[in-house]
Structure 1
């Protein structure tokens, strides 16, 4: 066992779950999948060496800095209850630990390739220097062109990660101190390319449009160049999608661990992260319609080459960020008789300098859509002379800005109390001082919006040019609040192998700095977010089955969301701030089954009903028409009510095994008011692994081996469509995201 693995195994209170194939993600190959708990995900939760891999993924994306690579010596899964106490967030969380090495030199080289041309190299090696010093170093290199060609770049994901560390062993192995450095350079333009046009049949299924094959054709223009108005200065600039997806980060971590002779274990994990560039792009859509030459769309700037056919109003957000964070967590852990007690302290600081610009354009509907020209008026033009342009509506749809910091200082305590051979009680609490100071722009957005003092121009009813003065400047908002979390879990063995269990967890938080990037909540809207989780059920275990069945209630109050609402049948959209509640009642049964030698099966079934509460919004469009959305008591979009997991594995020999993973996601609603939906679908994985000898392992796997073609998520521009009007949209052209296509992968791992 490595030094880090040994220390972590001693510190664990039995609350760390299994990994559960968490890296098998049918939506994104480069980050863990989201494990459903009945609420929309706030973030992907990954903790490395006891600290967040990234403080927040709202700007600096997780996959730009962290990958499940050979540098990790151990990975696991924290339960929502444990995560609430140690991090303040209720969610399943991946927890990973760096392999600090051992005295003998050893290394590992992983190589992955798929039939689309992806190549991935992953190297880690470590060893000893003298008697009490260890070193480790390695690199991760991903060259992934994606499942279709992006014409403006060679790779949908080009990520480089370099890491190195030095460790000092203390007092004959009782502890260690370690310094680790990581540098990541990632360009991932494939993140925003997961969109496709389709025909919404009306029965939850889709059909291809214009021969476009979702997952195998690109719905991103070939050029990759966009004109936008900089929200910081008001200048018009050009953005290149490849360069605009760049992320660079530097991280220095200090890790310490020591166990005294009396059994007291002390851990101290700290890191500083500097991210000078954290850029990314978001694409959105609206309504797909059919136009003729009379509508005025052309393929050229001169207006000579008229376009006829399908078009979609497209939206694009260009994000620029810089991030700095400094964090440490320290814990004391000791066994007192039947009590395993842990006392911890978090100090997490995060500074964000972020802004985005938005633009709109009209594109053809098909592979590599062309950006069409149309007549538009620039509100910054005093003469209001219409010109033929490709890009318009600059910063009308939710451009964002915030600069500031947030700090979490928290004390937490847990006790794993083994009362007797039948009864075990685990309980804990967390108290967190939270400070947030952010510069925000609370004014509503409009076409031509940017920071500064300026005029926009329009015409009144008489045709006269009217100048409207604007003074757009950030204002500071500072909040000092107390958050808390508490949990209690009881297990009782009623009879041999059979027992009952129950737990309750509650966590609170106040709006985060990212919630102020838009117009932000007003003082009246600034309310505590409360998430209660209550579960109860039974478990049974014998030599061939380990089964548990639980009923769960989870809710979330005062959820903040910035929603772009599109007027049905048009490309016009407005942005509104929504504050609402969600609650979910569900039932989950999970089992680990070993019916005969060499075979195992993980099975899970969940039925849940997540519904919106207090979800109301209204918006007034340019023609004066007011429309509203009322999603009260309706099923939360994108969250399925039925979930099934089946993961069989068979060991043909001690060195050869085959495995499959089936995940069924039931019917999901694709808009807010239960009007449009997607049928249930299977996400499938399978593979074979062969340990050729003690040094070489080979593997082959298939993603989506059922080759399911389908859409997922939400349908662009459908936010205001009501259930009573759903029939009107059968057979209509729409757009949305899709499943990863059929993919064959091969891998080799060499230990030296």
Structure 2
């Protein structure tokens, strides 16, 4: 006990010191907040067709001048890019050195081993056709490159913070070792982020450390280089939710005693109890320790070599070894417990009446995963053709992945207290491992791909490619129903063994009708059958081939003052998998986990332009109109049949806008970013929705000299309140009126946040 109190006191003192440091930093800099200039330069539209760079340069593979790194929810990673499909739990795909930083985001999240850092040489956005052609996957990706050793000494450092006590330190140095061409690179990244709320049981909602070291050999005559790099990461992270009162017109009303974004809805002591579904042992897991921490070792070899015949050979290989832990306390529903309900506080035994929150607890304890990847390609310009041929190998294995589950009740207040009820055990938990997950095995993907950017004439350009993939998946799973008290029985273990062949590709065409005006067409296609995670539940998964065609047709117009693209698009994806935690609309205390397969169809129209009316001023504007709907969406739950065919997709706005003005004068840059989201449906029936909202960012950057850059950033400067995402436990609600005035839970955007950073080059 004394040891624990000493640790808590030490953490508290450290937190105070960080706040004092940044209070002093604000005074010294004379600004209210700072954000590194390079982060604001990274961006993307919420669009299914990013074509600006293709129109300007047929060979462009990555897009800049977008704000994908501005995340309204947290500092941990890039924003999700809306393509008319439900947002991924794992967020946007992140690549480093042309390879995924994690093979699959569950149980190891990408942000556990990757952060935007000065230890990265550069970062950009890989467009959808580039990801489809090289990886065979659908969506956008952030692509980054590790800082290699340099021929001359080079140092970069960055300090960041916020008025909530966030501290981030980031440094990288590189330079020569010998005259024979060897050089080094080394860096460290540390993040201590309390977010915007007080957990109570821990000072920080995110604690991440990433350390890098590398050796580079530069070949003579500028033939290329080879880099041997090692990265160690250790990341602790939690997710918070908000309580609010739901009202007419999609309003999320803030409660008098619960401030959205400022209060924690995680259990006060941070302790959750589970039944290990593999060993059969009961155990307690603490949300402030290893139960929510992932650790990884990363070994990369990458570089290029310019061969005598003119072909440029590029290569990137990786061995990634990790132990991943996930820890969540997710709200399911809220109900009122009156007199005689027999609820008592778990910590004191006192009787409790009032609002009760039903919670789902999840823990995947130290799951070992190993990934071996390699990407090899040759590139050459031959006349009017820019050719690329490549091979991609990805091997991934997971050792007894399992997600232990339990349910519990808690009071509805900031830092809620656990409750004991009539259907719980003596510690307040029940329904152990209902909906629990397990899988074990390996996946291997071997691909070959090729692409050609062909300048047919001064007016016509074609960009096309093909990706062929062999996917092998083998392992075992349990068909045991995920009933209460589940401990897996070897007698119910079954093997699976699959082999699939997938095709992906792209085709883009631009035709200049006039010198600066033309038409464009695009098409990309991807396929997939399944992943190990599909076997996590008891039912045998539906492994029908999922096909995702995406097509677009539009026009472009480029002058010295405006670059404009307007394009109509169509996207379809079949056999979409989702596991839903459903609550009985007639009984809030009854819930079930369903595995559901369905299709999604999206049609849209996007107009995007960059306007430069006078020197120094730049305005980026985007508007997307889209209509994503469910297809073949039906299932059975609570002895009822449900059919949501043609309902609008949850969490997806039908109107999206992005307005990004900026003005540069000498060494100063003033910028803002406004994102508009029309109403988003918050449940499957479309009866409940959240009202439209704005996400806002603004800042000032100042380049003091060639060594020091300062800036100022405010997140959510309009200080908008409200919730977003889905309403937990309300998936099957058909009438909104009974929900008006009820307490609900959901995710949210960050409250008004002032951030600061200084970047130093030495």
**TM score, norm. by length of structure 1:** 0.91
Once the two structures are superposed, the pairs formed by residues 144-223 of structure 1 within 5 Å of their partners are: 144-189=193-238, 192-193=239-240, 195-223=241-269
Q: Which residue of 2 aligns with 1:135?
A: 184
Q: CA deviation at 1:126?
A: 0.4
Q: Which residue of 1 aligns with 2:54?
A: none
Task: Describe the superposition over 1:633-672 as per-residue Cα deviations: whole angstroms up to 9, x where unpaired.
Answer: 011001111110111110122x111110111111100001
Task: Describe the superposition over 1:670-708 as per-residue Cα deviations: whole angstroms up to 9, x where unpaired.
Answer: 001101000111000111011101111111100000000
CA distance in 1, matches of 2:662, 2:347: 59
CA distance in 2, matches of 1:540, 1:661: 24
CA distance in 1, matches of 2:196, 2:354: 27
Q: CA deviation at 1:228?
A: 1.2
Q: When the two structures are aligned, how many residues end up with a matched partner?
A: 699
CA distance in 2, matches of 1:263, 1:12: 21
2:541 is aligned with 1:514: no
Q: Identify which of 384, 394, 397 aligns with 1:338.
A: 384
Q: CA deviation at 1:564?
A: 1.4
CA distance in 2, matches of 1:301, 1:344: 60
Contact 1:704 1:741 in 2 (8 A): yes
Q: Which residue of 1 aligns with 2:653?
A: 640
CA distance in 1, matches of 2:178, 2:346: 70
CA distance in 1, matches of 2:196, 2:540: 40
Once the two structures are superposed, the pairs formed by residues 525-536 of structure 1 within 5 Å of their partners are: 525-536=542-553
CA distance in 1, matches of 2:341, 2:106: 39
Contact 1:343 1:414 in 2 (8 A): yes
Contact 1:435 1:481 in 2 (8 A): yes
Contact 2:346 2:427 in 1 (8 A): no
CA distance in 1, matches of 2:683, 2:721: 20
2:105 is aligned with 1:57: yes
CA distance in 2, matches of 1:399, 1:271: 32
Q: Which residue of 2 aligns with 1:683?
A: 695
Q: 1:301 to 1:259 in 2, by over 3 A?
A: closer
Q: Secondary structure at the match of 1:714?
A: coil
Q: In structure 1, list runs of 5 or more residues that go unmatched.
A: 1-10, 378-386, 454-470, 621-625
Q: Secondary structure at the match of 1:223?
A: coil
Q: Which residue of 1 aligns with 2:373?
A: 327
Q: Identify which of 726, 734, 742 aligns with 1:732.
A: 742
CA distance in 1, matches of 2:538, 2:513: 54
Q: Secondary structure at the match of 2:379?
A: strand
Once the two structures are superposed, the pairs formed by residues 624-663 of structure 1 within 5 Å of their partners are: 626-653=639-666, 655-663=667-675
Contact 2:580 2:596 in 1 (8 A): yes
Q: Which residue of 2 aligns with 1:391?
A: 429
Q: Which residue of 1 aligns with 2:504?
A: 485
Q: Identify which of 731, 737, 744 aligns with 1:719.
A: 731
Highest relative contact order (Cα 8 Å, sep 6+), 1 or 2?
Answer: 2
Once the two structures are superposed, the pairs formed by residues 17-32 of structure 1 within 5 Å of their partners are: 17-18=63-64, 20-32=66-78
Q: Secondary structure at the match of 1:694?
A: coil
Contact 1:375 1:388 in 2 (8 A): no
Q: 1:38 to 1:598 in 2, by over 3 A?
A: same
Q: Secondary structure at the match of 1:330?
A: strand
Q: Identify which of 438, 445, 449 aligns with 2:482.
A: 445
Q: CA deviation at 1:627?
A: 2.8
2:604 is aligned with 1:590: no
Q: Which residue of 1 aligns with 2:330?
A: 284
Contact 1:301 1:389 in 2 (8 A): no
Q: CA deviation at 1:295?
A: 0.8
CA distance in 1, matches of 2:287, 2:571: 40
Q: CA deviation at 1:390?
A: 0.8
Q: Secondary structure at the match of 1:372?
A: strand
Query: Which stretch shifts more, 599-608 or 317-326?
Result: 317-326
When the two chains are superposed, the root-mean-square deviation of aligned CA atoms in Å is 1.5
Contact 1:19 1:77 in 2 (8 A): no
Task: Describe the superposition over 1:108-129 as per-residue Cα deviations: whole angstroms up to 9, x where unpaired.
Answer: 1100010001111000110111
Contact 1:228 1:394 in 2 (8 A): yes
**TM score, norm. by length of structure 2:** 0.90
Q: Which residue of 1 aligns with 2:81?
A: 35
Q: CA deviation at 1:137?
A: 0.5
Q: CA deviation at 1:285?
A: 2.2
Q: Which residue of 2 aligns with 1:432?
A: 469
Q: Which residue of 1 aligns with 2:572?
A: 555
Q: 1:421 to 1:370 in 2, by over 3 A?
A: same
Q: CA deviation at 1:361?
A: 0.7
Q: Which residue of 2 aligns with 1:357?
A: 404
Query: Which stretch shifts more, 440-449 or 634-643?
Result: 440-449
Contact 1:228 1:357 in 2 (8 A): yes
Q: CA deviation at 1:257?
A: 0.2
Q: Which residue of 2 aligns with 1:623?
A: none
Q: Which residue of 1 aligns with 2:41?
A: none
Contact 2:346 2:428 in 1 (8 A): no
Q: Which residue of 1 aligns with 2:709?
A: 697
Q: CA deviation at 1:99?
A: 2.1
Q: CA deviation at 1:282?
A: 2.5
2:495 is aligned with 1:476: yes
CA distance in 2, matches of 1:742, 1:302: 36
Q: Identify which of 743, 746, 750 aligns with 2:753.
A: 743
Query: Which stretch shifts more, 501-510 or 284-293?
Result: 284-293
Q: Identify which of 409, 426, 439 aligns with 2:446.
A: 409
Q: CA deviation at 1:474?
A: 2.6
Q: Identify which of 355, 359, 367 aligns with 1:310.
A: 355
CA distance in 2, matches of 1:291, 1:349: 51
Q: Secondary structure at the match of 2:130?
A: helix
Contact 2:63 2:125 in 1 (8 A): yes
Contact 2:186 2:213 in 1 (8 A): yes
CA distance in 1, matches of 2:331, 2:142: 33
Q: CA deviation at 1:14?
A: 1.9
2:719 is aligned with 1:671: no
Q: Which residue of 2 aligns with 1:458?
A: none
2:292 is aligned with 1:245: yes
Task: Describe the superposition over 1:126-184 as per-residue Cα deviations: whole angstroms up to 9, x where unpaired.
Answer: 01112211110000011112211212222111100000100001122211111000000
CA distance in 2, matches of 1:87, 1:424: 23
Contact 1:565 1:575 in 2 (8 A): yes
Q: CA deviation at 1:301?
A: 7.2
Q: Which residue of 2 aligns with 1:544?
A: 561
Q: Secondary structure at the match of 1:368?
A: coil
Query: Which stretch shifts more, 260-269 or 111-120?
Result: 260-269
Task: Describe the superposition over 1:730-750 as per-residue Cα deviations: whole angstroms up to 9, x where unpaired.
Answer: 121111111111100111011
Q: CA deviation at 1:256?
A: 2.5
Query: Which stretch shifts more, 41-50 or 555-564?
Result: 41-50
Query: Which stretch shifts more, 315-324 or 263-272?
Result: 315-324
Q: Secondary structure at the match of 1:713?
A: coil
